[in-house]
Amino acid sequence: MTRADVPDKLLELALEAARAAAAHIRQRRTHGVSVADTKSSDVDVVTLADRESEELIRRLVLDRRPDDAFLGEETGTATGSTGVRWVVDPIDGTVNYLYGLPEYSVSIAVEHDGEVVAGVVLNAATGVEYVATAGEARRDGVPLGVRGPAPLHQRLVITGFGYDAAKRAVQAAAVARLLPQVRDIRRLGSCALDLCHLAEGSADAYVEEGVNLWDYAAGAFIATQAGARWELHPGAYGTEALVAAPDHGFDEFLGAVRDAGFLAGL
């Protein structure tokens, strides 16, 4: 494989793995879903399907490319020697999955020499596929682009909340301060899909504290290729906050979320 071939070949494998995992977790839902474990709190849930989805992806990828590195939400890190690393969230939006809300995804980002070169976010409930390589983002084969410029009070913002009650209180207070400044705020429950909605122009901005690399790696890459900009900043509660918006309106939105108290330093 030449260096020029790398992104397309890796995207093909990522999409194959995401489709297989999505089919598995959809089938799992037909038999009912229950909580297998919890993580940071009793509302931060893991289902058996999360673990099975990640194992399916890991096995498929590493059977084909056994020397690649792998970072998964459920199984952690496996080192590699090729310069390629797979960053996987097997079900992003597990609570939505548990309740049957059709907003949960399989998210796979592929890094080469430390940079994301391919991303797949597949809405496992609906089958909608978001993919990107450098310079191009697509939804079901159709090119994506962010929304055009709009004043702050006409922007629809997506956000999310952590699982710790004290963090949620800080986030809720920031949302309450931002809400009068914007068109409206949505909380949909999957960081990866939230960023894809930004990429396709279904929202104007996104902000959330407490996201992990596997949550946003693929979605942020897709959004960037569609014309968005994103940054990580210290959040008001002390964990990293991700801020994303179209490049043309990013600085104004960053100022608004800082003033509203999403970020540390005020």
Sketch out the chain's domains with CATH numbers. Answer: 3-143 (3.30.540.10), 152-260 (3.40.190.80)
pLDDT tens figures, 101-117: 999 999 999 999 999 99
Of 10-24, 37-51, 100-114, 143-157, the range with the lowest mean pLDDT is 37-51
pLDDT tens figures, 194-203: 999 999 999 9
- C-beta separation of 209 from 241 below 8 A: yes
Q: Average pLDDT in the 236-243 region?
A: 97
Q: How far apart are CA 57 and CA 62, in angstroms?
A: 8
Q: What is the CA radius of gyration of the chain?
A: 18
- C-beta separation of 249 from 150 below 8 A: yes
Beta-bridge mates of residue 118: 110, 133
pLDDT computed for residue 1 by the predictor? 44
pLDDT tens figures, 164-205: 999 999 999 999 999 999 999 999 999 999 999 999 999 999
Q: Average pLDDT in the 114-126 region?
A: 97
What's CA 247's distance to the chain center, in Å?
Answer: 18
DSSP tally for the chain: helices H, then strands E: 7, 15
- C-beta separation of 117 from 133 below 8 A: yes
43 vs 33, which has greater pLDDT? 33
- Structure tokens given for 257: 């979320």
Q: What's the pTM?
A: 0.94
